[in-house]
Amino acid sequence: MTTVPSPAQLGGRSLERVVYAEEEIRRRVEALAREITEAYGPEDELLVVGLLKGSFIFLADLVRRIELPLKVDFLVAASYGAGMVSSGEVRLLYDPEARLTGRAVVVVEDIVDSGTTLNRILPLLAARGPKSLELCALLHKRRVRLDPEPRWVGFEAPAEFLVGYGLDHREELRHLPYIASL
């Protein structure tokens, strides 16, 4: 059973509920890694691009379980700022340095919510000529349509503001080992 920290341990905030427990997340990440491993071969030059900051815990757990040679790079884009709703404006703060041309690229995202960030960056990455470009999202709220839609999704996300396992509120609560509703 997952113990929810007190408001004092959460900087005065309280959590509504634990949506996905630590063990449930671990099992799902292992399954996603198996599916990605089966989808590619060593000849694909797999490049996993994590969208920071939210995906860093998920990305780390995922790539350690993918049983293929791979490289990791990151992209930093911001659309939330300090709020709980996307601003609608995407700023690219760090662009991947790795070559995408001719490679199998898997973009790893923590949560598909408004789609604003992904709809901005996926065409930019596709224009760099990858052999394939796929999306793996830990959570998907199914509020928007993406092109391409995520090939791999960990969990359906409720229409709540979620924190933990990399997801934050004002840069806090990423450290929680589970996903909870704030």
Known catalytic residues? Answer: 113
The three state secondary structure string of 34-70 is HHHHHHCCHHHCEEEEEEECCCHHHHHHHHCCCCCCE
**Which of 89, 97, 91 minimizes the C-alpha distance to 125?**
97
